[in-house]
A and B are shown apart, each in its own frame.
Chain A
């Protein structure tokens, strides 16, 4: 921010001017509004107490709006009541970025601006809000904090097609519309079980499909980088399918099997209970912007993997944000979905240290609960040996891996990524052990678990040995030979990181362990239909004059 800028608001003079114009457009008193906005800023900075703020303006506000019950009064009262106070509310919207801030202003009406909501967006100060401020100053409203993407561990995938099935069920796809596709392949004649590819849409940052689209139907969502198709705009020219080098697009050649009514009914039933963001319609089709981009496409338009925008928008509840149907369904946790911009997200942490990620997921079933530990340890001694002996579920190997994971991890058990749940279980178990008196960071325990070197006589114990811990994890869970992005040389900047073997140009698909036809998907109309590998087989039924020959 320039030093000359005398604005009270961290978003700068421009923002203030905008606020003022907004207020001028209402029949309310602009000066009072601006004054309130300024004081609201002071509240968020802690310079003014909330009670004082309330007292200072309550009467004025009531006088201004109270008479004829304008929505602003409600907004004000609502803010007081719901967000646990004004400052809290300001803080809670802070991270949502410029777009939603404006959206919210609009929603609550100009009256909201009046009561000083213009202050939010910079309530906390500090580093977190700085990007917003910077973005606002550049007048850049395409700021993006989130880029959804995946890390896919091909060596963990066992080819069960659970993800393909889950995707078909989530999106009510026609047979052979395999938004998620899993294939085994042979490369130069070598066929090992490791030659497997899991292939959703790569949600490319530089998506050629979007570039060629003659209608902007194929587009990237500004706030989270998902590459989506607006089913209401697409003309079905199929150029996106042509331009995508990965072959992930599926055109809706005929009337889809499942009606929108069925999809909506299913969505009402399944999503109805979630307390969800009111922005997102309950139909599993429109996203938070109100564009029809989710679930199977209607006839005559293009479709492909969406990375579940309804989930990401909070339409299926807070827990489903940052997850996809395929990720949830994958038994060996081969799919890690999350924010590629965040170093602590599932995909980034997993790609960063796959052995750790694998071990974490493997060990989860064996980590004893804190309660069980407490019961087992009751009355036992607090040295390592006694603890291990007394505990039924905890053996030395498990504890070693648990501890090794902790040693190689940063911010263990913190954050909101899915893997932190696993970490949290370990933290709980550790807490129970510590409560019993076992010091997990002590020389005795670490050396006992081979996670630290025993110091020489004259040396001091220097804590855990990270490389030893890493070796434990690699030995336990293995490590992929390589990680790669698919067809990197195409310049698409895909948002999927693969761990494992990269298929070469001579790779050819071979039969996988599970046949598509042997897996059934339960769809919204109550039917159970087998998946189909080859869409053409399904479509041939409708071809006029199909002679069964090919050019």
Chain B
């Protein structure tokens, strides 16, 4: 409860417990990932024909499908996560400090999933290094796909650095309480295998660097915020589509902002789900407070609004007096369940969020979770539809085989479960190694507790909400 004082023990708890639920979740996640890996192996062995894809045009199908839709989705979650955490650090939104690291970790996990999708989607992933790196100096000048790979790699490195820097502070202070792992192999006692990891992470750490690191983190955060619209989901990723004039439903400058709103809505939703899971698992009600959920929900509402607003812009320009092929694309949007469904879902979430700001009693964590799930589903479906609709309604739409047929194969569908499993595993493992909530946050909460007026009403609501959550 929030009457409890957050302590170091709280954030160390994931490392000091080992429950059946953990094992169960681990098993499920591993199974999901494993099942997809088997599917992928089969795909590698047989070729991409095991998917539901075909050539667009006379080929009667779509070139890209769920793999690319899910790719955009994961990159969106990842990029949104890093923007969220950067905003917290840059603008001093201390309220969200307890979830900032979760957002950063989500970025790493999301980027890994997205990177994995790039490989999964390729006909010859084995050539990734020779063909792409080998010609990088030429292709980087004009291939949006190369920009994508560059940006994903760059952000992976940047986020890892960022995370690494902030982890030093925690690890240096909590070192004695961090887990050790010295297995007994064949009667021989090995030394602690984790110690070197922590040692490397805190290499050369002195208290004097804290201030410097703080500044550095601030600057990196600034860089991320500035580059977000240009290089992340507001730029390079949408350019994969937006620069191609032959697809009316893709082409145009609006995709940048549109993708950015999708990134932010899905990342906030992701963080809501993650925070809830950790809070529930480790009794962190007093760390990841209801207040955080309310705040996150409000932000989610704001970005949902932007998301719908930009969709509206496209519907208006696409139907008022558009070119023939563009009007086909718009007509499809207005009637296709994969477009209409997500729009209604996001609209529903928006309405709920606004309603609960007016009537706070409408808030519950269960509903917050539902909102998050709805938004994540909506963005995945909408992004997949977005990819498909390009091929369905191209400028050159003469072919009988267009709009092409597509239904994701079992392997493609498994990839969603597989990557979610992969991200879950990532958190399950990472949470056993390092604190997923910063020490800073705990210190901050302790120092702040009872001062901020925002927190004043907390205990009352907390107790009012509790039963609902448990139910």
**A10 at the binding interface (Cβ < 8 Å):** no
Residue of A nearest to B149 (CB): A214
Q: Is B399 an interface residue (CB 8 A)?
A: yes
B410 at the binding interface (Cβ < 8 Å): yes
Q: A253 touching B53 by the CB < 8 A rule?
A: yes
A254 close to B51 (CB less than 8 A): no
Contact yes or no, A551 B407, CB < 8 A: yes
Give the chain A neighbours of B396 by CB distance below 8 A.
245-247, 486-487
Write out the residue numbers on chain B whose beta carbons fall within 8 Å of the beta carbon of A380: none
User: Which of B42-50, B72-80, B284-292 forms contacts with chain A?
Assistant: B42-50
Within B16-45, the residues touching A (CB, 8 Å) are 39, 42
Mask: chain A, 475-517; 1 = CB below 8 Å from B; 0 = not = 0000000000011001000000000000101111110000000
> Contact partner of B124 among A213, A236, A241, CB < 8 A?
A236
Which A residues are in CB contact (< 8 Å) with B405? 536, 550
| Binary contact readout B102-136 vs A (1 if CB under 8 angstroms, 0 otherwise) | 00000000000000000001111101100110110
Contact of A535 with B60 in the complex, beta carbons under 8 Å: yes
Q: Which residues of A contact B125 (CB under 8 A)?
A: 235
CB closest chain-B residue, reference A186: B398
B124-A543 in contact (CB<8A): no
Do A536 and B59 form a contact, CB below 8 Å, given A246-B396, A252-B123, A299-B47? yes
With both beta carbons as reference points, the residue of chain A lying nearest to B57 in the complex is identified as: A247
Please tell me which stretch of A165-173, A176-184, A351-359 contacts chain B, meaning at least 4 of its Cβ atoms lie within 8 angstroms of it: A176-184
The interface residues of chain B lying within 8 Å CB-to-CB of A67 are: none
Q: Tell me if A435 counts as interface (CB < 8 A to partner B).
A: no
- Contact B323 A214, beta carbon cutoff 8 Å: no
A39 CA / B266 CA spacing, docked (Å): 77
Partner of B131 from A215, A539, A549 at Cβ < 8 Å: A215
**CB–CB B48/A546 < 8 A:** no
* Residue-wise interface mask of A (518-551) relative to B, using a CB-CB cutoff of 8 A (1 in contact, 0 not): 0000000000000001111101001111110111
A519 shortest CB reach to chain B, Å: 14
B366 within 8 A of A: no
Cβ of B252 < 8 Å from any Cβ of A?
no
Interface centre among B131, B134, B139 (most CB of A within 10 A): B131
> Which residues does chain B contribute within 8 Å of A242, judged by CB atoms?
56, 63-64, 244, 390-391
Binding site secondary structure of chain B: loop
Interface centre among A215, A300, A490 (most CB of B within 10 A): A215
Check A236 against B50 for contact (C-beta < 8 Å): no
Alpha-carbon distance A460/B149, docked complex (angstroms): 77
Specify the chain B residue showing the minimal Cβ separation from A492. B246
Decide if A301 is an interface residue (CB 8 Å cutoff).
yes
Chain B residues within 8 Å of chain A by Cβ, number: 66
Docked complex Cα distance between A545 and B135 (Å): 37
- Listed stretches B1-9, B140-148, B269-277; interface member: B140-148
The docked-state distance in angstroms from the alpha carbon of A239 to that of B61 is 15
Q: A251 near B123 (CB under 8 angstroms)?
A: yes
**Do A536 and B61 touch across chains, with their CB atoms under 8 A apart?**
yes
Contact of B338 among A215, A233, A551 (CB under 8 A): A551
Q: Which residues of A contact B134 (CB under 8 A)?
A: 215
Residues of B close to A510: CB separation below 8 A? 400
**CB of B388 to closest CB in A, whole Å:** 7
Residue A388 at the chain B interface, CB threshold 8 Å: no
Chain B residues whose CB sits within 8 angstroms of the CB of A32 once the complex forms: none
CB distance from B45 to the nearest CB of A (A): 10
Q: Is B342 an interface residue (CB 8 A)?
A: no
**Which residues does chain A contribute within 8 Å of B132, judged by CB atoms?**
214-215, 235
For A246, the chain B residues whose CB sits under 8 A away are 57, 396
Of the candidates A181, A241, A547, the one having the most CB atoms from chain B within 10 angstroms of its own CB is A241
B48-A251 in contact (CB<8A): yes
Does B409 sit within 8 A of A, measured CB to CB? yes
Q: Are the CB atoms of B407 and A176 closer together than 8 Å?
A: no
CB of B295 within 8 A of chain A? Answer: no
Taking the closest CB of chain B, its distance from the CB of A174, in whole angstroms, is 10
Cβ of B325 < 8 Å from any Cβ of A? yes
- Establish whether residues A299 and B123, one from each chain, have CB atoms under 8 Å apart when the complex forms: yes
CB distance from B118 to the nearest CB of A (A): 8
Contacts of B410 in A (CB 8 A): 544-545
Please judge, given known A-B contacts A214-B143, A214-B146, whether A248 and B57 are in contact too, CB under 8 Å. yes
Q: Are B123 and A300 in contact, CB atoms less than 8 angstroms apart?
A: yes
| B357 interfacial by beta-carbon distance below 8 Å | no
Bound complex: CA of A178 vs CA of B58, how far in Å? 8
How far apart are the CA atoms of A308 and B122 in the complex, in Å? Answer: 27
**Residue on B nearest A304 in the bound complex, by CB:** B55
- Residues in B whose Cβ lies below 8 Å from that of A247: 55-59, 394, 396, 399, 402
Closest B residue, CB atoms, query A199: B58
Q: Indicate whether B52 reaches chain A with its CB closer than 8 angstroms.
A: yes
Which B-chain residue is minimally distant from A545 (CB atoms)?
Answer: B410
Distance between B179 CB and nearest chain A CB, rounded to angstroms: 41
User: Are B400 and A509 in contact, with the CB atoms below 8 A?
Assistant: yes
| A534 and B394 contact, CB distance less than 8 A | no
Kindly state the separation between the CA atoms of A212 and B147 in the bound complex, as whole angstroms. 10
The yes or no answer to A185 lying at the interface (CB within 8 A) is yes
Binding site for A on B (CB under 8 A): 39, 42, 46-61, 63-64, 121-125, 127-128, 131-132, 134-135, 138-139, 142-146, 149, 244-246, 323-325, 338, 388, 390-391, 394-402, 404-407, 409-411, 413
Please give 10 more A-B residue pairs, beta carbons under 8 A apart, in addition to A176-B58, A487-B396. Answer: A183-B400, A213-B143, A214-B139, A233-B135, A249-B57, A254-B47, A508-B400, A542-B49, A543-B49, A546-B407
29 contacts between A and B (CB under 8 A): A211-B143, A212-B142, A212-B144, A214-B131, A215-B134, A216-B138, A217-B131, A234-B124, A235-B124, A236-B48, A237-B121, A237-B145, A239-B144, A239-B145, A243-B244, A244-B246, A247-B55, A247-B57, A251-B123, A300-B123, A505-B397, A509-B399, A509-B400, A534-B401, A536-B60, A539-B53, A544-B50, A544-B51, A545-B413
